[in-house]
Structure 1
């Protein structure tokens, strides 16, 4: 251009900014000023959004100072972009000061502040800001609704508001509501909303697929996939990832293989996101060869893909391979994140690698990684399974606000390590903190009652599950109560529990009763239970070991020999076992 005016400069700066070339946009602005051009309000409106990240906060503040000096900050559009910039950089105080300075606050200004509160996790403040906006008689628009949804506002209330104001007809609003309903597990409402769209799109369909996938409803995932194909929609990597995420049950291995084939045909398998999910899927099928083959074929091995294969190895019981892969990952220059650490800690738990687990703990400290609930729970679990309850306690105390899962891990850990009273005391502290226990909590509490022989306490906890907390009883909870009652000699009450429950007793439940028969030397009852166990699983080695011990406790040596012979006939000898000793970081 032989002559460039401020409009041309502003257009080019805005173009760089909108397309993600943030530093180019800022440098272009500096060059423009050096050449003697005086920026206009539109120039700053086009440039400032590119400074909405921490790396460019200094440049953003410099622009703000420049705008004030040039008198451009009085323009409401300029104030809005600076308010948004401060909010995106985490400086909500600066954003509020600018907002309060505005004389004429339009819907854009209010939307900026509502979005700012939501972006910084101040969800209640976002709703307060919305109410103030309504009090000022400012009409909301689709952006207002989208910001409220992002701020985790009650989606049903926002949906009602959108219907009342007519904003629900906006396609972006419908898409967002579909996504939030799907994310909350209400797939039916998500589908109904999706059908109201003037034109179906892949974004909302992917959200619905993801919702069904999270529930493990493979049939509906396949139905949604078929619907996409009928509409001639080209699936992207995110949609494919959502579909594969739903194939968790090995019973659906054929479906998983079919989708893998579709991924190869469409070229989606080359995407790291899809390849990582395929690795996760095959690990659920215990197909380690497929896992390694997929990983080796990946063109670009990102941290996410390394995490996927490390996690897969741990899931299939090959923790040793996981640790070797971790070493390779380091050689390729990838630093582990919280997910890597958690997977490796789980591997250490499997192998009893206490020293390696301590090194991972040290790595967390050296790299200033926050010991939050995610990493903290993994560390606690590792220390417990490696037999170091003191270190587990130390980690627990270092977590500022332990979540329920972390409390549950400690309760179960105390029980496993033989500190039943501490487990029950820990449960009392959990309640003092105002946390509501779940079914896992009570499995740990009932296990503590079993080890302590506390029948009355066990009955009380079992009763409180349904009456106080409304928790649905599972077969595991009934098994725990049957084990508690039978171990303490209340066999009639234990059988009453078995008769009254809505489940069929499994081998674990009968095994618990048979174990109690050994403790109380109840031979006749033990033989009756052994027959039930034999019909359920005649190859269960525990059955023969328990019966052998029962006969031995009464001196019935001929029967002991008979049971041992039966065990040998099924392929076991009752003497096999294994111990693990860690020496110089090797097992």
Structure 2
């Protein structure tokens, strides 16, 4: 009775009192207190009933932090055992609450078995099962359960559709999503605003924005959820201006934004500073989710300083926000700051998750940092992260980046279960390391293990065909793409164009390009580059104009291809015009590659003085490629004196690179200066190189 006295009770509390306390713990999302209270029932010899058990289960599902804790599964099993012993598990709503708990813990098999063993079921039980299966990523299974539910005579409610529709928010399930929509119309469930919101979101995820817009406009009294859904639909599909217009309309109709609105706006590429100001005005800036989203957006845009300031303002530091900073630093090759963040993470007694570890591994790009990669591999082994396929994929990519394919294969062979994403990582790694033959062999093993290649697998393999000019295999992959309807993926079409271009079939590359309804920028770039490679400069420039007519803005890669076309065609005036256009009209800062293209253009045309003036006026320090382009021009026009001047510069830039010595040797040979040829050849032997090695490939038919 001590506990009763401590809270001001003079008599033994009744069951109703405990129920009110359990309800309060549900509202405050405090499962631990609910469990403690449930145990204290027995201290007062108060026997819990079916309602008590239902409230306890609801309390356990109320907190995501509790569901992610180590003890949650153990306690769920203990509750289940207690329910069986007390006999209250026979009540449908108690069994449904327990099923929901298992689903939220990710224990789908336990939930399915519980559902199968239920003596009776209602539509709420079916909804809980369908929603749980969908939430756990088993989208096809959710649809099959819906069909089974209808066959067994249960009438779906609007909550059933709200639970099911998210499973159809994928391109490959768009048809099934439309079928569910049709069912909803026929059953008269489509007028419900929750159903309309769910369908709007589904169509947005399937990139059917016309259908999403129609549904959105049909909603009479649009809640903040409806507005957020439409903003998210536009943002997910890259229609950022439209997302901003929807937000403007929302403000005009005096609908108060919430934290989801701000997060959706940031996902829709909204200016983080404007979104930040709006969050301050509406008082949402104190929300941890909003702050974390702002940190992520600032970090993504390279404004790490603002991200850091916001991070310091977080009352409770989170792994997500810290991962955003780590990712930003890694992207900018600032491994020193990455390690500071990692040290801070350890001080907070946190551990890296697979996402954070992959962010760090992606930042390890230089040989000097390879030791860090090995250290994080060791950290992954110690913390158990290497059991996560995402972390293993990151390690495979890192080892492949440094041509250490043997270690990548070793990691791969140690995995018990090899998902498709891991096969893709190793195939891509082999291609990156120039071992395309290994990639093609892996492809055969992948199919034998029962995995069907997806668009990512195909794109990597097509890149491998480019390396070894294996046209026949590339054609086979093209057939697979057509047979499995993968040609709709932008990067698959781009990879096919690259493959045909590099394997000598520009005609087929054109055919693939023309078959794509709405080519993305990368696809246009690939076609322009292909025309440039074949010396079809006029076609390349026409393609460039058509691309702009389609409303696409060229990027640095586009201009690299355009300048290459001008170089091959000797279009000096055109090259100058496009170089100026790049800077002045599109505000793109030329890279060293663009500068090397311009020097090559001037040099091939014999305008060596113009080339020299261009190099002197460069805003960035010229590198080996820039000076090398001018030396090549000296060889073409037999300018020995200028060539010797440039060769000295190249020697100090990279004395081990024998390429410039080969050019000088050729230049002296043209002028019949055999003593100088012999001297240069001797220098080449001393540096350990005799020019650039190469291979020849013959495709056997």
Q: TM-score, normalised by structure 1?
A: 0.84
Number of aligned positions between the proteins: 566
Counterpart Cα distance in 2 of 1:163 and 1:575: 60
Per mean C-alpha deviation after superposition, the further-off stretch among 562-571 and 421-430 is: 562-571
* 1:277 has 2:367 as partner: no
In the alignment, structure 2 segments of 5+ residues that lack a partner are 1-86, 126-155, 204-210
Residue in structure 2 matching 1:31, options 121, 127, 135: 121
Per mean C-alpha deviation after superposition, the further-off stretch among 89-98 and 217-226 is: 89-98
Residue in structure 1 matching 2:560, options 437, 443, 447: 443
Per mean C-alpha deviation after superposition, the further-off stretch among 505-514 and 244-253 is: 505-514
Counterpart Cα distance in 1 of 2:696 and 2:666: 22
Counterpart Cα distance in 2 of 1:203 and 1:285: 28
Deviation at 1:238, TM superposition (A): 2.0
Counterpart Cα distance in 1 of 2:314 and 2:649: 57
Deviations 1:474-524 (A, max 9, x none): 222222222222322222222222333244444333333332233223333
Deviations 1:75-116 (A, max 9, x none): xxxx3433344334436478548732x5xx655666566667
* 1:82 has 2:201 as partner: no
Per mean C-alpha deviation after superposition, the further-off stretch among 364-373 and 1-10 is: 1-10
Maintained 8 Å contact 2:377/2:395: yes
Maintained 8 Å contact 1:83/1:113: no
Alignment of 1:10-25 (within 5 A): 11=97
Maintained 8 Å contact 2:95/2:114: no
- 1:542/1:26 CA distance change after superposition, 3 Å: same
Deviations 1:327-346 (A, max 9, x none): 11111111111111111111
Which residue of structure 2 aligns with residue 347 of structure 1?
464
Alignment of 1:450-469 (within 5 A): 450-469=567-586
Counterpart Cα distance in 1 of 2:529 and 2:124: 68
Deviations 1:375-430 (A, max 9, x none): 11111111111111111111122222223322222222222222233223333333
Counterpart Cα distance in 2 of 1:93 and 1:500: 52
Residue in structure 1 matching 2:616, options 491, 496, 499: 499
Maintained 8 Å contact 1:279/1:312: yes
Alignment of 1:527-566 (within 5 A): 527-557=644-674, 559-560=676-677, 563-564=680-681
Deviations 1:142-194 (A, max 9, x none): 34434444555444333322211212222232223333333333322222222
Alignment of 1:236-385 (within 5 A): 236-385=353-502
Counterpart Cα distance in 2 of 1:122 and 1:437: 18
Counterpart Cα distance in 2 of 1:34 and 1:133: 34
Deviation at 1:220, TM superposition (A): 1.7
Residue in structure 2 matching 1:162, options 268, 274, 279: 279
Maintained 8 Å contact 2:197/2:216: no
Maintained 8 Å contact 1:168/1:174: yes
- 1:379/1:558 CA distance change after superposition, 3 Å: same
Per mean C-alpha deviation after superposition, the further-off stretch among 113-122 and 288-297 is: 113-122
- 1:44/1:582 CA distance change after superposition, 3 Å: same
Deviation at 1:311, TM superposition (A): 0.9
Alignment of 1:7-156 (within 5 A): 11=97, 31-32=121-122, 49-52=162-165, 53-54=167-168, 79-90=192-203, 92=212, 95-96=215-216, 99-100=219-220, 107=224, 130-156=247-273
Q: Superposition RMSD on alpha carbons, in Å?
A: 3.7
Higher relative contact order (CA 8 A, sep 6+): 1
Alignment of 1:460-499 (within 5 A): 460-499=577-616
In the alignment, structure 1 segments of 5+ residues that lack a partner are 36-42
Counterpart Cα distance in 2 of 1:453 and 1:147: 49
Residue in structure 1 matching 2:548, options 426, 431, 443: 431
Counterpart Cα distance in 2 of 1:122 and 1:26: 42
